[in-house]
Amino acid sequence: MKPLRILPLLLAAALTTAVVRAQTVIDLAAYVDEQTTAQIGEANATALKNKISRIITRNGMADVEGLFAVVPTITITDDGNVDTGMTSLRVVRADFTLAIRNLVDNTTFASQTVALQANGKSDEACMRSLINKVNVNDVRFAKMIRDTQQAIADYYARMMPRILAKVDSHVAREEYADAMAVLAVVPECVEEYPRVAELKVQVYNKLLSNDVTCAMAEAEILVRQGDIDGALNLCRACNPLSPNYGEVIAFMRRLDAAAAAAEAEALEAELRKADAAKQQERMAEEADLRGDSLRAERTDSCKKKGKSLGEWLFGL
């Protein structure tokens, strides 16, 4: 009977998971790369990006900057001129493709191509006409975007063992930024995302700690070189959320103590210098007084030597 009792619980858990995954939406970004921008021009690239953004939002997603993007490409299949009698028009046939990619590892999850035809008096006019022919309500684009949501989740679910192994490898080599980049590509809709979120915190703390350790080592060198301001700037650049931020505080306190000691020593040196100057001044004054006294004594002696014998004997 126990298996029969457990079965409903398992089914309920499965249904709950399905509902949660169905509610989880992977937002997409409208992205026109440099090659396509150069092909169609800046103004047309902006117009095309706006159209893609409308396709995304019409299908229940937000157009936000992120890892996953809808990327267009335009492949010219036929290009020619038609003489209308009054003027010459350029006629272009092209395959317009929208692909959903991860911009970090360039993985393509789905793509949809439609054939378009446009004409204009110039290259720019032809491209503008071609973009105007893109239908934001095209059901083929809508289906691709909806189907890709689950495809992305399934892809990263399959890749999770490789992803975790790659993260472990980067962490073992203390390549924390690379480990964070690997974890960043995993969308939240993957079932193992709680494990990914936990690893993000752990690796991020290691990244911050490593940054603080490197900054403190460099700051010590700057202090020995006499560049206190440079050392303080390094301290200010450290993230207070780092688990070892206490090292930064201790270093700054040590700098403050050293600065206070240096200031006290400089003040004491100034006082000693002032005392020495006063002592020299007193000595100079005493020397002047003694010189005056000696001059007086010599003058008096000279006066006595100038008296006659009678003046000495009888005080005359």
Q: Note the pLDDT tens digit of each residue in 253-267.
A: 888 876 676 666 666
Angle at 69 between CA 32 and CA 183, to 5 degrees: 130
Indicate the SS3 state at residue 244: coil
Work out the average pLDDT over 289-294.
69
To the nearest whole number, what is the mean pLDDT of the chain? 80
Query: Residue type at 58?
Result: R
At residue 198, the pLDDT reads 93
Give which of 159, 125, 114 is closest to 43, Cα–Cα. 125
The pLDDT of residue 22 is 38
Which residue did the predictor score with more confidence, 88 or 212?
Answer: 212
CB neighbours (10 Å) of residue 184? Answer: 12
Give the per-residue pLDDT at 17: 36
The H or E element containing residue 1 is: none
Q: Which of 176-180, 234-238, 248-252, 259-263 bottoms out in mean pLDDT, i.e. has the lowest? A: 259-263
67: three-class secondary structure by DSSP:
coil
The CA distances from residue 250 to 6, 229, 254, 255, 281, in Å, are 57, 16, 6, 9, 46
Please write the tens of the pLDDT for every residue from 108-167. Answer: 999 999 999 988 888 888 889 999 999 999 999 999 988 888 888 888 888 899 999 999
Catalogue the long-range contacts made by 87-95 (C-beta closer than 8 Å, 24 or more residues apart): 87/121, 88/121, 89/119, 89/120, 89/121, 90/119, 90/120, 90/121, 90/122, 90/123, 90/125, 90/126, 91/117, 91/118, 91/119, 92/117, 92/118, 92/119, 92/126, 92/127, 92/130, 93/117, 94/118, 94/130
Q: Which strand ranges, in their side-by-side order, compose the sheet holding 29-30?
A: 29-30, 68-83, 88-102, 108-120
The rounded distance, in Å, linking the Cα atoms of 135 and 72 is: 13
On whether the CB atoms of residues 190 and 153 are closer than 8 A, the answer is: yes
Residue appearing with tokens 């990263």: 156
Contact in structure between 214 and 206 (CB atoms under 8 Å)? no
Q: Name which CATH class applies to 18-153.
A: alpha beta
Tokens found for residue 264: 């006290």
Percent of the chain exceeding pLDDT 70 equals: 78
8 Å CB contact between 69 and 34:
no
Residue-wise pLDDT tens digits, 4-18: 333 333 333 333 333
Mean pLDDT is lowest, of 40-49, 66-75, 277-286, for 277-286
Which helix (H) or strand (E) covers residue 296, if one does?
A: helix 245-305
Helices and strands, number each (H, E), in the chain:
10, 4
Residues of the chain with CATH 3.40.50: 18-153
What is the distance between the alpha carbons of residues 93 and 117, in angstroms, rounded to a whole number?
A: 4
Phi, psi of 114 (to 5 degrees): -130, 150
C-alpha to C-alpha distance for 167 and 179, rounded to whole angstroms: 5
